[in-house]
C-alpha cells in the first residue's frame, strides 16, 4: 500500500524535439493519491496515459518533475526495485512457462521459500478461479483466462502499487463487464493503490474512485465520476465524459445575462448564476446532455431547440433522436414511448440548471455555483 505522488511530471521522447513544446508526451502532471485509492487515467488514444504509467513503473524515465512513492523519490530506482506490479494490455505472460511458473516467477526471484510460493500462488489462483489451469502454458488459455493469470501474477506479489494499462481491451464486451466488476472486487479486498488506464469513458466512470482525464499529454481534470459528469472543467471533458456525448451550440448571451440565443435556438441560463453578468453580449458554447432534453409542444418555454428529426433509434427503454439546430448536431435521449418519426419537426427543452456554459476562447467552463465542484484544471 502506498501513496503515489507525481509532481510536475513531464516526458519528452527523444526525437520529438523539433515540434516544440507541444512535443511533450506528458506535461505538468500533478497528482497525489490516497493510500489504497483506485485512480483511472482516461483520454483518447495517444494522450499520454501509457507514458504516465510507464514512468510510474520505471520503464521510462521522466524528463521533468518527480515521482514519489511513500515519500521516496524513485527517479533513480530501477523498475525491479519499485515494488510495483503491472498488468499489460497484451498480458505479456511468459509463453514458455506454465501458469504456476508465471505467477511464481517474481517470488522465485525474490528467493521466497518454496512452500511460501506454493501457498501464495494457490491462494491467488483460488481468488481468480484459475486453480485448474496452473499446469497449462499460456498458449492453451483463452483470452479471459490469460487476463486472470496476468492479474494473478500481479497480486501474488502483494506489491505497493498496481498498474493496469488497458487490461480489458482485448476481451469481448460481455467478459469485459464481468472482469471490470471482478477487478473492483479485488481492489476492495486488497486495498492496493491502483492506477488503471482506459480509453473507454464508461469503464472509467464505473471503476474510478477518482478519474484523471487527459488530452495531448495534459491533465484536463481530476475528479470523482460524479463531479466529472456534473461539473466538467472544460469543453473537452464535457464532450468526453458521458454517452452519448454532450450537445454543444454556439450562442450569444443576452444583455440581462440570462437568455442565450442562436439563429433559431433559445436557452435560459439558471437565474441564480450572477457570475454570468460579466459575459453579457458574448458568444459562448452552451452544452446540454442528451438525457436532459425532453420534447415540448408549447411555445411558452423559455428554452427551445427546434429542428427536423433525421435519425430515430428506438432502443426500448429510451429512444435516441438526432436533429440539426442552427447547424449543430443535437442528440436527445427521449422516453421509449415517445412517438417521433424522421422528418417530424421537434421542439426540445431543458431545465436551466442542466445547462453548461463554456468560454469559446479558453474552452473553460464558466464556473457554476455547484456544491459538488472541487474542480482542478
Ligand X SMILES: Nc1ncnc2c1ncn2[C@@H]1O[C@H](COP(=O)(O)OP(=O)(O)O)[C@@H](O)[C@H]1O
Q: Which stretch binds other proteins (CB under 8 A): 51-59, 203-211, 282-290, 338-346?
A: 51-59
- Is 18 near ligand X (CB under 6 A)? no
Q: What is the DSSP letter of 167?
A: T
Q: For residues 240 and 70, is the Cβ–Cβ distance under 8 A? A: no
Listed in sequence order, the residues at least 6 apart from 143 whose beta carbon sits closer than 8 Å to its beta carbon are: 170, 171, 172, 175
- Is 234 near Mg ion (CB under 5 A)? no
- Is 79 near other proteins (CB under 8 A)? yes
- Is 86 near ligand X (CB under 6 A)? no
Q: Which of 25, 31, 41, 86 binds other proteins (CB under 8 A)?
A: 86
Q: Which of 31, 49, 138, 276 binds ligand X (CB under 6 A)?
A: 49
Question: Where in 22-51 is the site for Mg ion (CB under 5 A)?
Answer: 50
Give burial (CB, 10 Å; 0-12/13-18/19+) of 93: buried
Strand order in the sheet with 318-325: 294-295, 345-349, 305-314, 318-325, 328-335
Among candidate residues 41, 6, 377, the one with its CA nearest the CA of residue 209: 41
Listed in sequence order, the residues at least 6 apart from 277 whose beta carbon sits closer than 8 Å to its beta carbon are: 257
Question: Where in 23-42 is the site for ligand X (CB under 6 A)?
Answer: 25
Question: With CB cut-offs between 5 and 8 Å by kind, which of ligand X, other proteins, Mg ion, none does residue 289 bind?
Answer: none
Q: Which of 9, 10, 50, 62 binds ligand X (CB under 6 A)?
A: 50
Give burial (CB, 10 Å; 0-12/13-18/19+) of 101: middle
- Is 198 near ligand X (CB under 6 A)? no
Q: Which is nearer to ligand X, 117 or 222 (CB)?
A: 222
Question: With CB cut-offs between 5 and 8 Å by kind, which of other proteins, Mg ion, ligand X, none does residue 48 bind?
Answer: ligand X
Least distance to other proteins, CB of residue 202, Å: 25
Residues 216, 218, 220, 226: is their CA dihedral positive or negative? Answer: positive
Q: Which is nearer to other proteins, 88 or 229 (CB)?
A: 88
- Is 80 near other proteins (CB under 8 A)? yes
Number of shown-chain residues binding Mg ion (CB under 5 A): 1
Q: What is the DSSP letter of 154?
A: H
Reading the block at residue 193, the C-alpha cell is 493503490
Q: Which is nearer to other proteins, 84 or 330 (CB)?
A: 84
Question: Where in 145-174 is the site for other proteins (CB under 8 A)?
Answer: 153, 157
Question: With CB cut-offs between 5 and 8 Å by kind, which of Mg ion, other proteins, ligand X, none does residue 25 bind?
Answer: ligand X
Between the CA of residue 311 and those of 74, 116, 239, 264, 280, what are the distances in Å?
54, 61, 20, 20, 35
Between the CA of residue 354 and those of 163, 231, 351, what are the distances in Å?
36, 10, 6
Q: For residues 187 and 175, is the Cβ–Cβ distance under 8 A? A: no
Which residues of the chain form contacts with Mg ion (CB under 5 A)?
50
Which residues of the chain form contacts with ligand X (CB under 6 A)?
13, 16, 25, 43, 45-51
Which residues of the chain form contacts with other proteins (CB under 8 A)?
14-15, 57-59, 78-82, 84-86, 88, 90, 92-96, 105-106, 109-110, 153, 157
Amino acid at each position: 500500500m502506498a501513496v503515489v505522488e507525481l509532481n510536475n511530471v513531464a516526458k519528452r521522447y527523444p526525437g520529438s524535439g523539433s515540434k516544440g513544446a507541444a512535443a511533450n508526451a506528458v506535461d505538468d502532471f500533478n497528482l497525489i493519491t490516497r493510500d489504497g485509492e483506485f485512480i483511472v487515467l482516461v483520454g483518447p488514444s495517444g494522450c499520454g496515459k501509457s507514458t504516465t504509467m510507464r514512468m510510474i513503473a520505471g520503464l521510462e524515465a521522466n524528463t521533468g518533475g518527480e515521482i514519489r512513492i511513500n515519500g521516496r523519490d524513485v527517479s533513480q530506482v530501477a523498475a525491479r526495485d519499485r515494488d510495483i506490479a503491472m498488468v499489460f494490455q497484451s498480458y505479456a505472460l511468459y509463453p514458455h512457462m506454465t501458469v504456476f511458473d508465471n505467477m511464481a516467477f517474481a517470488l522465485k526471484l525474490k528467493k521466497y521459500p518454496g512452500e511460501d510460493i506454493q501457498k501464495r500462488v494457490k491462494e491467488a489462483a483460488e481468488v481468480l478461479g484459475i486453480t485448474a489451469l496452473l499446469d497449462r502454458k499460456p498458449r492453451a488459455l483463452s483470452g479471459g483466462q490469460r487476463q486472470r493469470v496476468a492479474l494473478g501474477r500481479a497480486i501474488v506479489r502483494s506489491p505497493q502499487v498496481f498498474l493496469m494499462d488497458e487490461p480489458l481491451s482485448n476481451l469481448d464486451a460481455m467478459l469485459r463487464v464481468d472482469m471490470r466488476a471482478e477487478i473492483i472486487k479485488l481492489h476492495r479486498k486488497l486495498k492496493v493503490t491502483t492506477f488503471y488506464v482506459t480509453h473507454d469513458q464508461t469503464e472509467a466512470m464505473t471503476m474510478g474512485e477518482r478519474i484523471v482525464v487527459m488530452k495531448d499529454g495534459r491533465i484536463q481534470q481530476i475528479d470523482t465520476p460524479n463531479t466529472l459528469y456534473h461539473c466538467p472543467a472544460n469543453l473537452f471533458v464535457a464532450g468526453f465524459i458521458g454517452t452519448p456525448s454532450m450537445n454543444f451550440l454556439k450562442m450569444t448571451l443576452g444583455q440581462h445575462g440570462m437568455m442565450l440565443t442562436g439563429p433559431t435556438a433559445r436557452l435560459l441560463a439558471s437565474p441564480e448564476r450572477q457570475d454570468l453578468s460579466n459575459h453579457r453580449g458574448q458568444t459562448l458554447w452552451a452544452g446540454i446532455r442528451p438525457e436532459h432534453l425532453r420534447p415540448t409542444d408549447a411555445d411558452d418555454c423559455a428554452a427551445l431547440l427546434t429542428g427536423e428529426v433525421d435519425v430515430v433509434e428506438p432502443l426500448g427503454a429510451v429512444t435516441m433522436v438526432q436533429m440539426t439546430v442552427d447547424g449543430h448536431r443535437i442528440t436527445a435521449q427521449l422516453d421509449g414511448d415517445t412517438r417521433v418519426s424522421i422528418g417530424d419537426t421537434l421542439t426540445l427543452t431543458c431545465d436551466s440548471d442542466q445547462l453548461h456554459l463554456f468560454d469559446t476562447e479558453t474552452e473553460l467552463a464558466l464556473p457554476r455555483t455547484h456544491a459538488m465542484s472541487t474542480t482542478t484544471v
